[in-house]
Structure 1
């Protein structure tokens, strides 16, 4: 159990599932920077689950291809969204990796999300300009953003044995209420909701706004490329400062302040392209740092044994923010134009700042699951013995699952020492 070198099967599972997840998200994100502009030309926990989601996603892409009106595109995008595979990917990854390597595997999935977003923002406008919106949807389908994911899942990703319930990656039945009642988690969920609401509403207005100022749609990918490269370069030092120096609240609040400032600058930008470019850069600096910080904050604040449930609620809040932001942005843009969209974004950012200011500094702990042999699972004193270890802040032992879920400061004690305490 103490061998932290990933096996060949674990590497296949991590790279295979990471690629599947990235292909699916690439197809979703490529449409984001082009749909509001090019769309105006239109009239009026297993392999089988993952494959099903990808096929639904591919069906949505095909419907969007074959339609010649806006309602067909809406139906196609709705089907794309319904082919959600994140939960199934995480559950399968849990079955295919050992406890000591699971954090690394899930971190890879998280990093792939950010990289995919950056690639999609650049590639989407290039592809759409070259072959049109229908061509983009054909590319998403025929170039295997969905169907190649099916092939990877069936041929590359190893087959899992019996599924083991892991509360670190799965939702515990009947526990959602406990997570929703946690004030810190509630504030963080509002944070991701607001972040993606601002992203989606802003991208309703930004592409046509830049086009109206004389910046051709075919050239807009260059802005996204530069801003993404700069913002990704800034993420690493920001995360190091937040995690290592233990100033996560300070960095988080600073990012929300930067988002508010970016929305206000966009509101006042008028037709000044360089002001728009600067605002987009500020927005994505804050956005990418917050995207990296929020899952870590959720992990730190979630009760022992409920990390999977907390992440499930977090993901739901994220996609609700996407839906709300897109709807709000479209309505306001049609009503009064870009200025009202950015005003609403500033209001959302201000509300998010007010909530974020009340956050406490998070406990700097990690969530661990330790598998228990039969004898240890029946030990009534195990929880107390683990709780007495240095750096351990919370312990939940679930005998029927043969698991111990522990919140621990890994600077004071490591997994090996905890496993030794279990073995005793």
Structure 2
């Protein structure tokens, strides 16, 4: 137990969890920070969009830097930089400073990719899927704890809740940076050839880089099947980020909720996400396959959208709808990444998955920006209509794929000694 508690993998997950708690603290208060400076839904959407855009641009750079200077140093830099961004947000006295803070925070979001690379360094191939699923659990728990902490701060801090939440997020990021410094080992093992051969196909990574440099990565988009699969990353991430960014504005406009109530709402969503990542997504994919699991996830999100659109004044419906919408859309990432991995040769999977993440980033920029504009022009229901439209396109693609690719028969079950089933 002590060895597991002190293991580098556990420390990595703990660093990521602490950082995501800090990030989650900001989410419920961001709409109210915008409103305090005279901004509205469009401004809020742009803030989410600039964060996603900077994260997309900086992610590959942090990955390359971590290859050169080591995962530990790169992780410490991103965590410390995130702390600085939250300090700037807490001291902000204008919308310009808020935008600068969010852009800087997005530029530091590459720590997620660094943690994933470090986990891959530490984990043998047969344990890689489980390790990545634990990262998903850390995401969910961080997104649950962060908004919950924001709600608690808002309960006793009153008018100072916005600044105090930002400073609390900064303290958590600095703490994670110190934890990485003191508890993570050096990166020398990563450069050991035997370790690299057992855990990571370096020649494959070199082939990926050559493909990108020679611009042959466009092969991943040739043909309607591959192109439409990549388009799903845009569709799903746009719907997810649109609902995520507009949730606080919607709750404030329809229910008059403040950052405390919004924090508790997002906390419930985070708990659902953690549960789904830990216990549901792998089982669904094993039983029904990736495409059907994707369709189930999108259908759950559409159901949530319908509930918000038809029963916005019923509290129970709202408390069910938001976890349905966000929890359903969270399943898209592991499922679609699995499909990309299956449909590309082993020596180009890194390049293919990198391109897929790029399409996800496009969706995360489009979603909040479009959602903010729609809410500003047409009212609080508009983003949910748009999100339902995006997810409906995904369902149509899934139906097409199910018809195009017949599902392989399931292996026969073993008979139970007790029940005879």
TM-score interval, normalised by the smaller of the two chains = 0.7 to 0.9
Number of residue pairs aligned between Structure 1 and Structure 2: 361
Is the Cα contact below 8 Å between 1:298 and 1:311 reproduced in 2? yes
In structure 2, the partner of 1:382 is none
Matches within 5 A, 1:58-137: 58-83=83-108, 84-128=110-154, 130-131=156-157, 132-137=161-166
- SS of residue matched to 1:175: helix
In structure 2, the partner of 1:166 is 201
**How far apart are the structure 1 equivalents of 2:166 and 2:261?**
20
**How far apart are the structure 2 equivalents of 1:237 and 1:97?**
21
**Are 2:390 and 1:323 aligned?**
no
TM-score normalised per structure 1: 0.72
- SS of residue matched to 1:33: helix
Deviation at 1:78, TM superposition (A): 0.8
**Are 2:296 and 1:254 aligned?**
yes
Q: Which has a greater percent of strand?
A: 1
The verdict on how the C-alpha distance between 1:244 and 1:109 changes in structure 2, with shifts beyond 3 A counting, is same
Higher relative contact order (CA 8 A, sep 6+): 2
Deviations 1:310-369 (A, max 9, x none): 33233333333222212112222222221222222122122222333333598999xxxx
* Structure 2: gaps spanning 5 or more residues: 40-65, 413-421
- SS of residue matched to 1:158: coil
Is the Cα contact below 8 Å between 1:253 and 1:356 reproduced in 2? yes
**How far apart are the structure 1 equivalents of 2:312 and 2:376?**
17
**How far apart are the structure 1 equivalents of 2:211 and 2:373?**
36
In structure 2, the partner of 1:196 is 237
The verdict on how the C-alpha distance between 1:7 and 1:363 changes in structure 2, with shifts beyond 3 A counting, is farther
**How far apart are the structure 1 equivalents of 2:127 and 2:395?**
36
In structure 1, the partner of 2:179 is 152
Deviation at 1:255, TM superposition (A): 1.7
Deviation at 1:79, TM superposition (A): 0.6
The verdict on how the C-alpha distance between 1:120 and 1:320 changes in structure 2, with shifts beyond 3 A counting, is farther
The verdict on how the C-alpha distance between 1:103 and 1:74 changes in structure 2, with shifts beyond 3 A counting, is same
**How far apart are the structure 1 equivalents of 2:82 and 2:204?**
23
- SS of residue matched to 1:135: helix
Is the Cα contact below 8 Å between 2:25 and 2:166 reproduced in 1? no
**How far apart are the structure 2 equivalents of 1:211 and 1:194?**
26
Deviations 1:85-105 (A, max 9, x none): 233223333333444444443
The verdict on how the C-alpha distance between 1:193 and 1:279 changes in structure 2, with shifts beyond 3 A counting, is same
RMSD, aligned α-carbons: 3.6
- SS of residue matched to 1:95: helix
In structure 1, the partner of 2:58 is none
* Structure 1: gaps spanning 5 or more residues: 1-5, 366-410, 412-424
The verdict on how the C-alpha distance between 1:43 and 1:170 changes in structure 2, with shifts beyond 3 A counting, is farther
The verdict on how the C-alpha distance between 1:75 and 1:294 changes in structure 2, with shifts beyond 3 A counting, is same
**How far apart are the structure 2 equivalents of 1:167 and 1:182?**
29
Deviation at 1:180, TM superposition (A): 4.4
In structure 2, the partner of 1:333 is 375
Deviation at 1:225, TM superposition (A): 4.1
Is the Cα contact below 8 Å between 2:244 and 2:326 reproduced in 1? no
**How far apart are the structure 2 equivalents of 1:207 and 1:215?**
10
In structure 1, the partner of 2:252 is 211
The verdict on how the C-alpha distance between 1:245 and 1:129 changes in structure 2, with shifts beyond 3 A counting, is same
**How far apart are the structure 2 equivalents of 1:41 and 1:64?**
13
In structure 2, the partner of 1:354 is 396
In structure 2, the partner of 1:40 is 35
In structure 1, the partner of 2:44 is none
Is the Cα contact below 8 Å between 2:242 and 2:371 reproduced in 1? yes
